Structure 1
C-alpha cells in the first residue's frame, strides 16, 4: 500500500513539473483598448482537437493554466474583428504572449483588396470584376456575364455600355479575338472560362505605338481567362428554320492550347447580318436580306514567347432589297417645305479582309511591332426614288424621280512597323515608326433622273441620262522618331519628330447619253479631276510624372507645319495653303484610396477646313442640290474637359461612378443652306464669328446588391445640354437642347426558379429654336425592357422578352409613338444539357411599330420601311466543351 501511494505521489509531482501556463492580453489595434469577452481557443497542432476554451476579462487578459508540453494553435476571435491565429510550442513553465492586437474588419477589408478575390477592385483607372463572384447559368457566354456586372449593360444588338460610355474594343488576355467583330467574342467565349473582366480607357493604337499621347481614349473591355481555360476545345453550332421561309445557321469553334488560339466562325441566314434569331433582339427583318460570313482567327507565340502572332481573315456577302416611305418637314423663318417620298433598293456587297500583327522581342533591349491589313470588296446596287416637294403645305414646287445602277470595287492595304530600343538602364529609350497606306476605288454608274419645276402654270423638266465612271487612288506615307528620357525618379520626358505625306487623286467622268445608248459627251458640271497633296511635319513633347502609384500626370503637345495643295483641271482650281497647327493634351489620374479613383483631362485641337469646304464649286450630284465652297473659311478650335470618378465600397459591395464632360468650339464652321422658289438648295460653309458652340453632359451610376445578394440594383441618371449656332435658310439661328434621363435596372441570375434582367428609364427632351420660338417643345420618352427566364420541370425553360417604348408628340408630329412587342422562347435541354431544342415566337401580338422619327432645330422627319416583325422559328443548338475551364483532379 505504501508502495502504491509513493508511485501515485511521484506521478503527480512529475506531471506538475511537465505542465505550463499561457497568459496574454487582447487589444483593439485601432484604439489600443482591451477587448472584453474575446474568445480564446487552443487547438492541438497535430489533429486540430479542441484542448482549451476561455474568454478575456474586463482588462482583456486571459490565462490558460496546467498545459502539457507540445505544439498548439491559438485562435482569438471577437465580433466584427479579424481572426488571430498563431502556432506556439509549450516548453517552459510559463508563456506570456503579451499584447495581442487585432484589427476591426472595417480596416481589414480595405487591405483585403490586395490579397483576396473580391467582386470588384479598382486599380488606377481600371475597374476589375472577379467573374466568379457573379453567378451565371451553365453554358452561359461572356455576354451573359457582362449583363451581371454592376455599371455595365449589353443591348439586344450586342452593344456594350460601361459607366455610360460605349465599349469599342473587346480583348481576350490583352489580344483582339476576331478583331473585325468584337461581338463574336462576347457571344461565344464561355463565362465559366473567365477569371476577371477589366474595364478601362485605352489609348489609341497610334499613341501606344509611338508613346506620345494624342488624347484619344477608347472604352475597352479586357477578359482574363482562367489558367485552366487556356487549353481545350469549345464552341457551339445552331440551326433554325421558320415561317415565311426564314432560316438561320451559325457555327463557332475554338481551340485553345495555352498561348495558341484558333477560332472559326460561320453564319448564313436570310434575316440580316445583325438580326439573327436571338430572342433578346426585336429581330424585325428589314426587306429581304441574305447574309453569309466566314472568318478565322489565329494567335500564338514562338521562340520561347519572344515572338507573338495575331491574325484573322473574314469574308462576308451581304445582300438585301427593301422599300421605304418617308416624310419630312423643314421649317424656315417665313415658310415651310414638306417632302414626301418613296424608294426601293437592291444591294449586294462582298468583302474580304485580312489583318495580322507580329510582335518580336529581339533581345532584352529591343522590340519590333509589325502590322499589316488588306481588304478587297465588290458591290453592285440598283435603286429607285421618287420625291415631291411642296411649299407652305399647298404649293407643289418640284418632283424628282431617279433610277441608279452601279458597280464598284475597292482594294486597300496598310503596313506599319514600330521599333523600340532601350538605350540605358535609367529609362532612356528610342521609338521609331514607319507606316504606309494604299487604296484604289473604281465604280461605274448608270443614272436616269427627271426633275420637274412648277412655276404658276408652267412646268420645266430636266432629264438626266448619264454614265458616271469614277476612279480614285490614295497613297499615304508617314514616319516618326521619339526619344524617351528619365529625368528624375518619377519624371519622364519624350521628345519626337513626325512626318507624313498623302497624295490622293480622284477622277469622276460623267458622260451624257445621246438617246441611242452611246455615252461620249463629257458633262463638266457633274465631273471632276482632282489631285490633293498634303505634307505635314511636326515636333512633339510629352512629360509624364508618376508619384508612388498614387498620382499620374501626363502632358503632351504636338505642333505641326502643314503644306496642302489641290488641283482640279476640269474646274481650273489651284488652291495652296501653309499653316501651323497645335494639339495639347493633359491627363491627371489620382488614386485616392485602394477603392477610389479620380481622373481629369483636357485637350485642345483645331478643326481645319477641308478642300471640299474651300473649293468654290463642287461637282453636282442632282439638279436639286448645289454644293459651293468658301475659300475664306478659317479653322475652328475645339476644347474638351472631362472628369471621371470611380468608387467601390467593399463593406456594402456597391459601386459608384460619375463622369462628366464639357466641350466648346470657337469660330465654328456651319453649313449654310438656302432654298429658292424652285426648290433648289444651295449649300455653302461659313464661320460663325464671335460665337461659341458648347455642350455639357454628366452621367452617374450606382450599383448595390439587395436581399442578401439576391438582386442587383443599378440606378443611373444622365443630363446633357447643347448650345449651338447654325443657319436656317441662310439666316443665323441659335439652337438649345436639354436632355434629362433617369432609370434603373434590376437583375437576378442564380439559375433557380426564375432569372430576369429588367431595365427602365424615363427622359425629357426640350428643344429651343431662336428663329421659330413657336416650335419650342418638350418631348417625353420612356422605355421598359425585361427578359425573364422561368426554369420548369423536366429540363424545360421559358424565356419571355417584353419591350415597351414611348416617344412623345411635338409641335409638328401631334401623335405620340407607342412601341410594344413580346417575344417568347421555349427550350428543352437534351444530352446532359449540351443540346437544346427551342421554339421561338417573335412579336406574338403583332404590335411592333415600324415608324422611325427624328428632328433637329428645323427638320422633322418620319419614315417607314418594309419590315417583317411577326414570325416563328424552331431550332437546335449544340454547345460543346472539351476540358476548357475544367480543373484537373
Structure 2
C-alpha cells in the first residue's frame, strides 16, 4: 500500500493556476442561480473549465495560468456575456450582468455545445465530454467522474445520495429500468449526455400531479451511434480452467431499439444484481405497490465472490418498436442458469442456555438454478392528452439445493444432508389509463393489476441420528429421512381510480378510490420415510396445514396539495375497510376493520440546489397466510414453526426527513436522511429454545418497537481533492420473549467513514477511505463488536494506451473479548487499447493474495457467532475484447 501511495503522488504534477470569482446577476442585481460559466481555452492542449453559479449567483473558476480563455456566462432567457482572460492574467474578480433577451422562453434556441452542466427545476444534464478523458471503457467509469454521482460495486447509482430507480436510454426503459445492466455494458464512447430527472413520470402530462419519488437517469447517445450497431464482445481464459465470454450489442434508431447482453463465466462474476432481478420480478404498475412476491431469486443474482465456485450463463434481449405515432411495443426476455458452491464455518455461543454452551457448524451448499422471464408492454397514445399501457409478464424458475451440515455441540454431533427443490411459475399483468381533459386542470388515472403465483418448494432431510426430539414425532430407525412438501398458490386483483384537480397554481385536490383483493391457498405436509418402506405421517401429531386465505382492502382517500412560497405540503387521509378471512381444518377466522390512515408529505425548497423533504404515514400491515397457518411446520434441522390464526394487523408510524444541498461555488455537497419507524402493534416470534432446537410462534402484542436510522455524507472539494465524511447510525428497541422470559432489547450500530479522492482530469484516479464501525446488543446479556475497514481504488493511464487499475480492501473485526479476525482482498488489472483500435487486451487478477476465507462476528437475541465464509481462489485471466 505504501508503494502504491508513493507512486501515485510522485506521478502527480501540480500545474500553476489562478482563480477568478464573481457574481452573475441580471440588470437589477438579482442573482441568477445555476447560471453556466464556461471558460473555453484557445490553446489546443488545454482543457475546458466551467462553473455553476450558486443560489446567490456566485461562481468560482480555476484557470491554467499560461492559457488564454474566452469565458462566457449564460442563462436561459438572457443574452450571453463574454470575458477574455489573457495568459498570465492577474484578474481575480469579475461580475457578469446579463440582460434579458426579451423573448418568450419557448421561442429561445439554446446551444449546449459548451455547457458541461445544465440545471433546470427537476433535471440536471451532464455533457459527457466535459468530464471523461477518453480512456473510459464502460458507462460506469464515466458516471463515477460526474459531480454528485456514485456507483457502488453492485451497479446501483446514486445522485446526491438519492438512488436512481429508473434507467433509460434515449428516453426508453432499458431492461426494465435496472441500472447494473446499463452501467456495466453500455460503451463509454457511445455516451453524449447524461440526464438526471427527479420526480420522473413516463407520462408527460402526469408529472405535475403524480408527485413521483422516482429518480431517472436518461442516457443520450452520440449521433454516430444511432442507426448503427455498436457494442463489444469479450473472451478470456485463465488459470485452472477459468474462462469468460461476454457480449453487449446495441442498435438504436428513432423508431427501433434492440439490445442484447450475453455472458458465460466461471469466475464468480454476475451480470446483474438482486435489485435488478427483483425489478424483472415485478410486472406490477408503479401506481400499485406493496404486494409481496413468493419467488426466491437471490441465487440468480449473487454478484459477490463469497462462494467457492460460481458458474453462470446469462442471456437478455430488450427491444422497443414504434409501430406508428400512437403505438409502441417494448419488451425483454431473460434467461439465467447458475451453479454455485459455498462453504461456511460458524462457531456459535448460545446465551441463557443451560444444556448447550456452543455449536460448531460446517456447511457446504451446491445450488443449481434456472430462470426464464418474458415481458411485453404495449404503449398506446391516441392523442397528446391520453395514454394507455398494457404490461404482461411470464416467469418460470427452478431452484435445486443440496446442503450438507455438520453440527457439533458439547453434548453430541450430527450430520444433516438436505435436498431442496422449488418450482415457481407466475403470470403478472396490468392495464393503465391516464387522461387529461380539455380543461387541463383535470386528470384521471385508472389502473387494474392481476398476479398469479404458484410455488412448490420441497425439502428432504437425511441424518443418522434423532433430531428435534420432543418437537417432531420421530420413530426410531437406523437412518432418518424426513420429507416436506409445500404448495402455495396466490391470486390477487388490485384496482385504483384517482382524479387530480388543479384548482390553481397553489392548490391541488386529489380523490382516490380503490380495492385490493388477495387469495392464497397454502398447504404443507411432513412425513418420515422409514427404511422398511413404511411412512410415518406427522399429521396426527399436529403437522400439516391446509389454509385458505382471503384479504380484501377497499379504500377511499383524499389528498390536498398546497404551496406557500417555497413550502409545498400534501396531507392525505385514507379510509380503509379491511376484511380478512382464513379457513383451516375445523376453524374459520374472520376479521373486519375500518381504519383511518393519515399521511403527510412536505417539501421546502431553499433554492434549486438545496431542499428539505419530510414524509409521514400511518400503516396497517396484515399477516401473510404462512403466519396464520395454525399447525406445525418444519423450517430447518433445528427449528419448528407454528402459525397463529388469531393474528391481526400490525400498526406502525413511518416517517423520514431528507436534506440535500449542492454548492458548486464552494465545492460542497451535503446529503442527510433520518428515518423513524414506531410499531404500536407488533407481530414478533415467541421463541422456546432447548439446546440448539427452537420452537417459534408469532404473537401480536401492544409492545412498541422503535427503529431510528440516520445516514448521510458531507463532501468538500479542497484544491484538487474531494474529502468526504459519511455516517450511518441505527437504534432499534424491541421486546422479545425467550423461554418465557420477556426482555427489552436494544440493537445499535454506528459507522463513521472518511475518504479522500483525486478530482483533477490530468491526475490518476485515486481514492482511499477508512470506516470505523461499532455494534452493540443489550438484553438478557450484553454483546458488542467493532470493525475497522480500509478501502482503496487506483486507476491511471500511462504511455497513452495502458490503463492500470487496482482495488484493495481490508477488514478487522474485534469482539467484546478482544478477539480479532482480519482479512484483506485485492484485485488488479492492466489493459491496453489504442484510441482508434477496436481491439483491447486485458490481464486481470482477482483475489490477488489468494485469500481463503472472510471472517466476521454477529449476534442475535440468544447466540453470538463467529463466521468464516470461504471464497474463490486467485483467478488470473487474460481477455481480448473487440469494439464494434
1:163-202 correspondence to structure 2 within 5 Å: 163-179=160-176, 181-199=178-196
Question: In structure 1, what is the equivalent of residue 824 of structure 2?
Answer: 820
Residues 1:272 and 1:31: Cα distance change in structure 2 (over 3 Å)? closer
Question: In structure 1, what is the equivalent of residue 286 of structure 2?
Answer: none
SS at the partner of 1:299? strand
> Does the alignment pair 1:512 with 2:528?
yes
1:446-845 correspondence to structure 2 within 5 Å: 446-452=460-466, 464-517=480-533, 521=537, 523-524=539-540, 525-545=542-562, 550-569=566-585, 572-621=586-635, 624-631=638-645, 633-676=647-690, 678-704=691-717, 706-707=719-720, 711-729=721-739, 730-748=741-759, 750=761, 755-773=764-782, 775=783, 777=784, 779-792=786-799, 795-807=801-813, 809-811=814-816, 814-829=818-833, 832-845=836-849
Q: CA deviation at 1:349?
A: 1.3
Q: CA deviation at 1:425?
A: 1.2
Residues 1:365 and 1:234: Cα distance change in structure 2 (over 3 Å)? same
Contact residue 350 and residue 357 of structure 2 kept, 8 A: yes
Distance, in Å, in 1 between the alignment partners of 2:212 and 2:355 is 43
Distance, in Å, in 2 between the alignment partners of 1:407 and 1:766 is 36
Residues 1:29 and 1:351: Cα distance change in structure 2 (over 3 Å)? closer
Contact residue 715 and residue 722 of structure 2 kept, 8 A: no
Q: CA deviation at 1:152?
A: 3.1
SS at the partner of 2:632? coil
Q: CA deviation at 1:258?
A: 2.3
Residues 1:337 and 1:153: Cα distance change in structure 2 (over 3 Å)? farther
Alignment TM-score, normalising by the size of structure 2? 0.77
Q: CA deviation at 1:602?
A: 1.9
Contact residue 451 and residue 461 of structure 1 kept, 8 A: no
Per-residue deviation, residues 775-826 of structure 1 (Å, max 9, x unmatched): 3x45242222212324136x3333233222333x1125x4323222333322
Per-residue deviation, residues 240-285 of structure 1 (Å, max 9, x unmatched): 1111111111011001112421001111111235289xxxx99746
Residues 1:201 and 1:432: Cα distance change in structure 2 (over 3 Å)? same
Residues 1:621 and 1:346: Cα distance change in structure 2 (over 3 Å)? same
SS at the partner of 1:293? strand
Q: CA deviation at 1:402?
A: 2.5
Contact residue 674 and residue 708 of structure 2 kept, 8 A: no
Of 305, 308, 321 in structure 2, the residue corresponding to residue 300 of structure 1 is 321
Residues 1:799 and 1:366: Cα distance change in structure 2 (over 3 Å)? closer
Distance, in Å, in 2 between the alignment partners of 1:616 and 1:282 is 38
Contact residue 688 and residue 695 of structure 2 kept, 8 A: yes
Distance, in Å, in 1 between the alignment partners of 2:248 and 2:482 is 46
Contact residue 819 and residue 848 of structure 1 kept, 8 A: no
Structure 1: stretches of 5+ with no match in the other structure: 1-26, 33-74, 87-102, 391-395, 881-889
Q: CA deviation at 1:315?
A: 0.7
Distance, in Å, in 1 between the alignment partners of 2:759 and 2:692 is 57
Contact residue 29 and residue 97 of structure 2 kept, 8 A: no
Contact residue 603 and residue 613 of structure 2 kept, 8 A: yes
SS at the partner of 2:764? strand
Contact residue 318 and residue 349 of structure 1 kept, 8 A: yes
Question: In structure 2, what is the equivalent of residue 232 of structure 1?
Answer: 228
SS at the partner of 2:626? helix
Structure 2: stretches of 5+ with no match in the other structure: 1-24, 31-69, 74-78, 84-92, 273-301
Distance, in Å, in 2 between the alignment partners of 1:251 and 1:771 is 55
Question: In structure 2, what is the equivalent of residue 251 of structure 1?
Answer: 247
RMSD: 4.1
Alignment TM-score, normalising by the size of structure 1? 0.77
Contact residue 785 and residue 857 of structure 2 kept, 8 A: no
Contact residue 230 and residue 259 of structure 1 kept, 8 A: no
Q: Size of the alignment, in residue pairs? A: 765
